[in-house]
Amino acid sequence: MTGSVLSRIPLPVSWTEDGSAIRLLDQTLLPGEERYLRLETVEAVAEAIRSLRVRGAPAIGIAAAFGLAIGVMRRVEAGEPDLPDGMEKDRKHLLSTRPTAVNLAWALERVAGAFFRAEEGPQARVAAVTEEANRVAEEDRELCRLMGEHGLDVIPEEGASILTHCNAGALATGGMGTALAPIYAATARGIPVKVFADETRPLLQGARLTSWELSRAGVEVTVITDSMAGALMKAGGVNLVITGTDRVAANGDVANKIGTYGVAVLAREHGIPFYVASPRSTFDPRAKSGAEIPIEERDGGEIRGEGERRIVPPEVQVWNPAFDVTPAHLVTAFITDGGILRPPYDVAIARLLESDAPSG
Amino acid sequence: MTGSVLSRIPLPVSWTEDGSAIRLLDQTLLPGEERYLRLETVEAVAEAIRSLRVRGAPAIGIAAAFGLAIGVMRRVEAGEPDLPDGMEKDRKHLLSTRPTAVNLAWALERVAGAFFRAEEGPQARVAAVTEEANRVAEEDRELCRLMGEHGLDVIPEEGASILTHCNAGALATGGMGTALAPIYAATARGIPVKVFADETRPLLQGARLTSWELSRAGVEVTVITDSMAGALMKAGGVNLVITGTDRVAANGDVANKIGTYGVAVLAREHGIPFYVASPRSTFDPRAKSGAEIPIEERDGGEIRGEGERRIVPPEVQVWNPAFDVTPAHLVTAFITDGGILRPPYDVAIARLLESDAPSG
């Protein structure tokens, strides 16, 4: 069972078999088509990130790390004399694709650091950046695995029916995902789990991506519109909620995909536990509370639709915040790579961040 | 001001200027195109109802009433000998278009009754059915007007910002709508009102219809996805909610478009009053509570999408309840044609239903 579930979890970014290029799942074509692109240049990787063919902060970081390594490989193959200069150009190029993504800058920093720490000589440089890019991917994979293991503690042995919002799954990471990790871990152990996925307007990551990756791995999944979560809970259809997060403040306030807050309020109303899966890197001790987390407002076209798919009259306004903030008091517990955190969160989060990361 | 607002409220069903045909707004083309169809036969009216070119229980009833009158006109013009038999055929034809619509059967019953009560002779029959159909429309128009007047009591004189869900507006009725009636009434009196419209997945009546009719009448309206209502309330963006309803039980439980319940829970969480606009015909004293109101489950294709617009993988399940039930304790008050109802609702509703309807 374990093997079959885990082997069916998709990997959004990896090396091609011969190690000379990047194999990247084009997520813009999902769920209609599962097409893997072979990316051989920095420009191709940059285009894939820019065009959202890969999305989810950890997966973007991994793609960028692999992309920077590919850049060094190509420059070495071409016999370029000034490798450091070329590498810095590639780094800037990749960094410009999604300027606000924290993982992107961090992953590029790691690979660039390995480049400079490596012994001189082109082959040593290639080996160093490739190893560091692999380490970025491997560490993320391990974080996901740990969240999956710890998350098992909150999943009932029988009758688990879990609501999730957006996509915090394998497609967004280098492993089993964050919110979906405990679901995969439970399924792999033969613990029966049913999942309901909010479709997650406006970009429909739940309908398109979460449902696709779960069903591909053999997990029973049902899609609902975001507006159905209340009726589902009232009907007794779910007994816990697990979501991911984009940033957690020092007090436990959670910024996540728009709609998460509404789900949390409904969960509390129905006495259903509401869990947030978060690797320690997503806790931001500089933000004292959710009020200090800036909320990105995105283009209204995502709601209006385009061309023939336009649904809102042109003269009508739209409001399109990408995230909302769920106050800490609505969060039952955090599922982290360092274990389950329970209130008081200021203490639990500070303790988590002081402890050593499991990967050293 | 009054005149200009009221004159810009769309009328989904009316007679053509010469009175020989029905003028029907094709709502399937909204908001892209405002096209009025000229319907001259019972078959054309039946097709329009069946294809959802007209929707909303009161508007369907009016279309059917006008349709049955058109049928009698056409048979008289053709000199048919057995008018009662022809009229019964037309009635069955129209009744078959939306078998579950209560207003449809009721409106046809009224016109058929007028037919049989009329003096013999084709011209008297035509006059009787036309008058009765007009009465059905006129009464609905008056109910809407009264809900608008009474609803003014709950709208603040300054800074009103109202959230609504789905379309309970002019497009669904023969007048100013139910939930939107107080908004039009306030605007007509120069009371400034801002509206937020939930897009209302899966069929997007809020994005497509509510936004269209409000902006056409000069009311400021902003569309949000259903998942944004919580963030909007938390940001202080709205100070009251008004929705329509499909059926109200004797205890005040409210069946309405899926998602209404979630909005009501969020409104309570934020201390925002939640009002339900309902003509007295929508109160159902036979249903003791919401548990006795059957909830229609609709085709999953509405969520999955179709063809190129398909968004959910074919192997994934969907759940698509069309309505949910909001418990009475979350309803601040009902806005009815007979005034504002406040708790205890069992008493208030019984009193409303015992009193004479305003139209006699």
Q: Do A224 and B303 touch (CB under 8 A)?
A: yes
Write out chain B residues lying below 8 Å of A32, CB-based: 310
Q: Determine which of B316, B324, B329, B330 to mutate to test the interface with A (most A C-beta atoms within 10 Å).
A: B316
Helix (H, G, I), strand (E, B) or coil at A22: strand
Among chain A residues, CA nearest to B257:
A227
CA A295/CA A276 separation, integer angstroms: 18
Whether the CB-CB separation of A148 and A184 falls below 8 Å is answered with: yes
Write out chain A residues lying below 8 Å of B212, CB-based: 313, 316
Residues pairing with A341 in the sheet:
A334
pLDDT digits over A173-227, tens only?
Answer: 999 999 999 999 999 999 999 999 999 999 999 999 999 999 999 999 999 999 9
Q: pLDDT band at residue B2, thresholds of 50, 70 and 90?
A: low
Q: Do B317 and A223 touch (CB under 8 A)?
A: yes
CA B94/CA B129 separation, integer angstroms: 15
pLDDT digits over B107-135, tens only?
Answer: 999 999 999 999 989 999 999 999 999 99
Q: Do B313 and A31 touch (CB under 8 A)?
A: yes
pLDDT for the residue numbered A57: 87
What are the tokens at B286?
């036979």
| Nearest to A214, CA basis, from A161, A173, A172, A169 | A169
Write out chain B residues lying below 8 Å of A306, CB-based: none
Q: Do B303 and A199 touch (CB under 8 A)?
A: yes
Predicted model pTM: 0.93
Q: Exposure of B92 by Cβ count < 10 A (0-12 exposed, 13-18 middle, 19+ buried)?
A: exposed
> CB distance from B261 to chain A under 8 Å?
yes
B 305-344: CB under 8 A from A: 309-313, 315-321, 324-325
For the segment A249-254, the average pLDDT, to the nearest whole number, is 97
Quickly list DSSP for A140-184: HHHHHHHHHHHHGGGS-SS-EEEEE-S--SGGGSSSS-STTHHHH
Q: Do A211 and B313 touch (CB under 8 A)?
A: yes
Shortest Cα–Cα distance, B322 to chain A (Å): 9
Q: What is the mean pLDDT of chain A?
A: 94
Q: pLDDT band at residue B100, thresholds of 50, 70 and 90?
A: low
For strands A247-249 and A160-164, give the pairing.
unpaired
Residue type, B19: G
Write out chain B residues lying below 8 Å of A299, CB-based: none
Q: Do B324 and A259 touch (CB under 8 A)?
A: no
CA A147/CA A140 separation, integer angstroms: 11
Predicted ipTM of the assembly: 0.92
Q: Do B316 and A202 touch (CB under 8 A)?
A: no
Residue type, A90: D
CA B265/CA B326 separation, integer angstroms: 9
pLDDT digits over B158-201, tens only?
Answer: 999 999 999 999 999 999 999 999 999 999 999 999 999 999 99
Write out chain A residues lying below 8 Å of B269, CB-based: 265, 269
Write out chain B residues lying below 8 Å of A310, CB-based: 32
CB contact set of A329 (below 8 Å; sequence gap of 6+)? none
Q: pLDDT band at residue A100, thresholds of 50, 70 and 90?
A: low
pLDDT for the residue numbered B1: 46
A246 is catalytic: yes
Q: Exposure of A192 by Cβ count < 10 A (0-12 exposed, 13-18 middle, 19+ buried)?
A: middle
Shortest Cα–Cα distance, A212 to chain B (Å): 6
Shortest Cα–Cα distance, A191 to chain B (Å): 20
More confident call, B2 vs B73: B73
Q: Do B228 and A310 touch (CB under 8 A)?
A: no
Whether the CB-CB separation of B68 and B129 falls below 8 Å is answered with: yes
Q: Do A231 and B201 touch (CB under 8 A)?
A: no
pLDDT digits over B141-150, tens only?
Answer: 999 999 999 9
pLDDT for the residue numbered A360: 39
Residues pairing with B256 in the sheet:
B324
**Options B226, B246, B253, B337, the catalytic residue:** B246
- The number of C-alpha atoms within 13 Å of B129 and in the hemisphere containing its C-beta is 31
Q: Determine which of B161, B215, B234, B312 to mutate to test the interface with A (most A C-beta atoms within 10 Å).
A: B312
Among chain A residues, CA nearest to B31:
A313
Sheet holding A317-318, edge to edge: A317-318, B220-224, B193-198, B160-164, B240-243, B274-277, B333-336, B339-341
